């Protein structure tokens, strides 16, 4: 006479059922692991782009404030120096400066900084594998 447990199955059948479930868990993990990895890398990439965007905005602001430091300071040189914390900023950063005349006759300096960052995983539908251009601009009145 075989012993039965509360579920109506023998202990040998229960052991077989448990071992089959561990195989199922392994298959589920194998199917979900690439998606979990992709999600993790996407979150890291979004964080890196956010850091780069904040650095570009700060560089444009510092470049626009450069004329206040003295007439000899070049706004674009100051802006590019501010981007030194970003990877390969020398080759991926550009700067332009323009002088604007306000309606009251005063002048202002506008500095536009562009930095090209390459995503960790180039998503074909979003970026088409090309660098993402982050642009920041700032306008500051010139010292009298």
d(CA 61, CA 75): 10
Compute the average pLDDT of residues 1-11.
62
Which of 14 and 10 is assigned the larger pLDDT? 10
What are the domain boundaries of the chain? Answer: 11-141
Instruction: Give the separation between CA 63 and CA 56, rounded to whole angstroms.
Output: 10
* pLDDT tens per residue across span 95-132: 999 989 888 888 898 999 999 887 777 766 555 557 78
Closest CA to 77 of 93, 63, 92, 56: 63
- Could you report the per-residue pLDDT of 27-83, keeping only the tens digit for each? 999 999 999 988 888 888 888 889 999 999 999 999 998 888 777 788 899 999 889
Q: Residue 65's closest CA among 133, 57, 87, 53?
A: 57
């Amino acid at each position: 006479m075989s012993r039965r447990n509360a579920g109506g199955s023998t202990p040998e059948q229960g052991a077989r059922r448990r071992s089959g479930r561990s195989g199922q868990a392994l298959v589920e993990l194998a199917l979900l692991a690439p998606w979990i990895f992709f999600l993790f890398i996407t979150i890291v990439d979004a964080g890196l782009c956010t850091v780069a965007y904040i650095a570009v905005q700060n560089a444009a602001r510092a470049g626009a404030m450069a004329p206040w430091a003295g007439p000899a300071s070049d706004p674009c040189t100051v802006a590019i120096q501010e981007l030194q914390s970003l990877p390969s900023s020398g080759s991926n950063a550009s700067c332009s400066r323009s002088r604007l005349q306000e309606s009251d006759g005063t002048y202002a300096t506008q500095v536009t900084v562009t930095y090209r960052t390459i995503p960790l995983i180039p998503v074909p539908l979003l970026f088409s594998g090309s660098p993402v251009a982050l642009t920041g601009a700032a306008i500051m009145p010139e010292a009298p």
